Chains A and B, each alone.
Chain A
Amino acid sequence: MTRSFPALLTVLLLALAPTLQAGAPPAPPKGLAPKGSCAVCGMHVPNFPNWAAVVTFQDGGQAWFDGPKDLFTYLQDLKRYAPKRRAQDIATIQVKNYYTLKHIDARKAFFVLGSDVMGPMGKELVPFATEPQAQDFLKDHRGQKILPFQEITQATIKGLE
């Protein structure tokens, strides 16, 4: 060990310079600042600012999600995830438009299924403000289907798992 030591140290020294990497800072969130953990899966929402979806209740309470998939899971089984809330209490539902990363009204949004863009939890429903946007995305990213908010059912979510 004693003889190989200087050589070893030199190798370490030569390796020194490239090991120091500066990480790129994460993109600042746009619009409503995501906070807390996902109401369905428990993941830390601020880690996924580009997907963060939010339900705001009439009393000002909020539920955040790390992606539209968990948002729909929540909405379709409100009894399980928020026993004290009713569907009528919901004031707004917002998702991030994929192209602008700004919050849009989920109830008027179009979602693309089966594309090659993955969300924080794998396959995602990628939200868009308008149908032409969704169509362009479908073409670019080999999506399969465009669905408006109202047509997304439990079966659709099941198909993403």
Chain B
Amino acid sequence: MRPSLQRHRSVLDFALSSLLRRKGRNLALTAVYTLVVFVLASLVFFVQALKHEAGELLEHAPDMVVQRMVAGRHDPMPASQVDAIREIRGVEEAEARLWGYYYDPVYGGNLTVMASPDPTLLPGSARIGRGVARNMRVAEGDMVPLRGYDGLPLLFTIQQVLAEESELVASDLVLLTPADVRTLFHLPEGLATDLAVKAGNPRELATIAAKIVEKFPDARPILKAEMLRTYEAAFDWRGGLMVVVLSSAILSFIIFAWDKATGLSAEERKEIGILKSIGWESGDVLLLKFWEGAVVSLAAFLGGVLLAYGHVFFFSATLFEHALKGWSVLFPRFRLIPALDAYQLTVLFFLTVLPYTAATLVPCWRAAMADPDSAMRS
């Protein structure tokens, strides 16, 4: 083995045994450190995974959604506007959509009821998301009553429970035929909830939106990019909120670690003095302290990141699910798809390992510079 590597190995060996000599203190430090990394990493992974999921979700969303505003509120619009919009240069496709929210008083959940243009969906039958099936405890072939606008129940046969992959998007979804949606919500023929517009060239969306507003002054076009930004902002905001809530915990860890790592005890000072008097150089002492710090922080970092990975991707971030998710009563029970990138891990690493290692070095450097004689005497 090369001599320089051999030196590192010996120093590391000494560092490990020196850590073991103060077992209690170092274990406590590592445990708390791991906990902090765990919480931070969970947060980062979770927010990232949610953003990823939202991005996927919006990938299939229309380029633009046009709503009609009446007195500042969203109102059903004439479906015939679709034809006028289709004529605008640059519009590739425009369709009227029919959907609404339905509050289920029995199971206490909000459902999204949507009309499906699929001709294989029979009148009087429904396709439902997993969350709905779970909540109502129904399976394919069962009948589900939905309360119509007039209070009378409408019965629907469940034709299909939607596949698991779409859980986050379609958990609370109920698909009915357009006619059934109209009956349920008492929407007159010829009215649509909103219009979905697809542009041939996404660059033209702003021009198309301006033309739609010109044609229908009461219309409000919402671009996909805006929706994406809103989602991102919402997740960032929630993530930021959690950081603020957690900051007191993190701050106390920093103070704790700072104290443990920088405050050299008299014993340690003496130890450094002895090492120097038996021939260690300042460089060796620093190397020793560097390895001690690196072992503690690397162990905590790896442990924390692994725990966070398990927490977020196997247990769906149970600890702060309610603070971060929560868009309806029907929680989608989904497993987040691991979306990690090196950038996040590097940021975490630099925020946790590097400062700690650096913090341990400064006081040791001071002690190592001191005269061994006075260090042993003090």
Q: Which residues of chain A have a CB within 8 Å of any CB of chain B?
A: 2, 5-6, 9-10, 12-14, 16-22, 24-25, 27, 50, 97-102, 117, 133, 136-137, 140-141
Contacts and interface: CB of A to CB of B under 8 A. Distances in A.
Contacts of B344: 20
Contact of B362 (A2, A16, A27, A136): A2
A9 to B, nearest CB: 6
B243 A14 contact: yes
A80 B288 CA distance: 67
A5 B359 contact: yes
Given A99-B89, A141-B207, A19 B347 contact: yes
A82 B248 CA distance: 68
B124 to A, nearest CB: 39
Interface of B: 40, 43-44, 47-48, 51-52, 55, 59, 89-90, 92, 200-204, 207, 211, 225, 228, 232, 236, 239-240, 242-244, 247, 250-251, 254-255, 258, 262, 343-344, 347, 351, 355, 359, 362
A27 B362 CA distance: 51
Given A17-B43, A99-B90, A22 B200 contact: no
Contacts of B211: 140
B262 A22 contact: no
A11 B216 CA distance: 48
Centre residue among B51, B59, B89, B355 by max chain A CB count within 10 A? B89
Contact of B244 (A2, A12, A14, A99): A14
B247 A2 contact: no
Contact of A20 (B48, B225, B242): B48
A12 B351 contact: yes
16 contacts: A2-B362, A6-B258, A13-B40, A13-B250, A14-B240, A16-B347, A17-B44, A18-B240, A20-B343, A21-B232, A24-B55, A25-B55, A99-B89, A100-B200, A101-B200, A101-B201
A45 B279 CA distance: 65
Nearest to B351: A12
Centre residue among B48, B201, B355 by max chain A CB count within 10 A? B201
Contact of A14 (B232, B247, B255, B359): B247
A10 B201 contact: no
A85 to B, nearest CB: 31
B243 A17 contact: yes
Nearest to B36: A13
A50 B44 contact: no
A100 B19 CA distance: 67
A11 to B, nearest CB: 10
Given A25-B59, A99-B200, A16 B44 contact: yes
A117 B166 CA distance: 38
Contacts of A50: 201, 203
Nearest to B235: A17
B351 A13 contact: yes
A17 B254 contact: no
Q: What 9 A-B pairs are tightest by C-beta distance, nearest first?
A: A17-B239, A100-B200, A136-B89, A6-B254, A22-B51, A17-B240, A18-B236, A99-B90, A99-B200
B44 A13 contact: no
B361 to A, nearest CB: 11
Contacts of A9: 254, 351, 355
A2 B180 CA distance: 69
A24 B52 CA distance: 10
B232 A22 contact: yes
A133 B225 CA distance: 26
B169 to A, nearest CB: 17
B52 A6 contact: no
Contacts of B255: 6
B243 A98 contact: no
Nearest to B363: A2
Nearest to A100: B200
Contacts of A2: 262, 359, 362
B254 A10 contact: yes
A17 B362 contact: no
A99 B40 contact: no
A107 to B, nearest CB: 22
A123 to B, nearest CB: 16
B92 A10 contact: no
Nearest to A137: B89
A6 to B, nearest CB: 5
